[in-house]
Amino acid sequence: MRRYGSPSIGRCQSSLPPLSLPVIFCGLSAALLLGPAFPASSDPSALGVELNKLESQKDGCRAYFVITNNGVTAYKMLKLDLIQFQPDGVIGKRFAIDLGPLPPQKRSVKLFDIDTPCDQIGSFLINDVVECTGDQGALANCLAEITPSSLAKQQLTK
């Protein structure tokens, strides 16, 4: 009897030629069984960071960020290294903002005051993650987890 697939998958064996219905079923069954073994936070859209709007203030600009934590990780601290570009593309400022704490499966709004007039802000770049911690301490690859977006005319990228 010919075997198709890996014997470690279990009883998924068939004497039918490749791509037959039993072989396809066996592969799909294995994929469904192995799927939950991967952490939910490996999804690139697990942490959405949106620049929602900029609002002029007396001495600068207020930035509204909407953070959507679709993952299972609770972030105690998520400190981002941000670069603010002027409308002409020249770097204006570099600063850090802390978006934490961020509970899992939760959408949050964070406000930050910037001492630059809103009309002097062209865009923001998430340059890096300065610090990223959860309940068990430091977390790895936090920058990869972030999907930036913007509803403002100024863009947020990484």
The full set of domain ranges for the chain reads: 7-37, 40-157
Q: Please list the residues that pair with 108 across neighbouring strands.
A: 67
CATH of domain 40-157: 2.60.40
Other beta carbons within 10 Å of 124: 29
pLDDT at residue 56 is higher than 60: yes
Least confident of 16-25, 58-67, 110-119: 16-25
CB within 8 Å of 58: residues ≥ 6 apart: none
> For residue 142, which amino acid is it?
C
Give residue 125's pLDDT: 98
Give residue 23's pLDDT: 43
pLDDT at residue 11 is higher than 90: no
Phi-psi region of 124 (alpha: psi -120 to 50; beta: other; left: phi over 0): beta
Backbone angles phi, psi at 115, to 5 degrees: -85, 45
pLDDT tens for 15-45 read 434 544 444 444 444 443 443 333 334 454 6
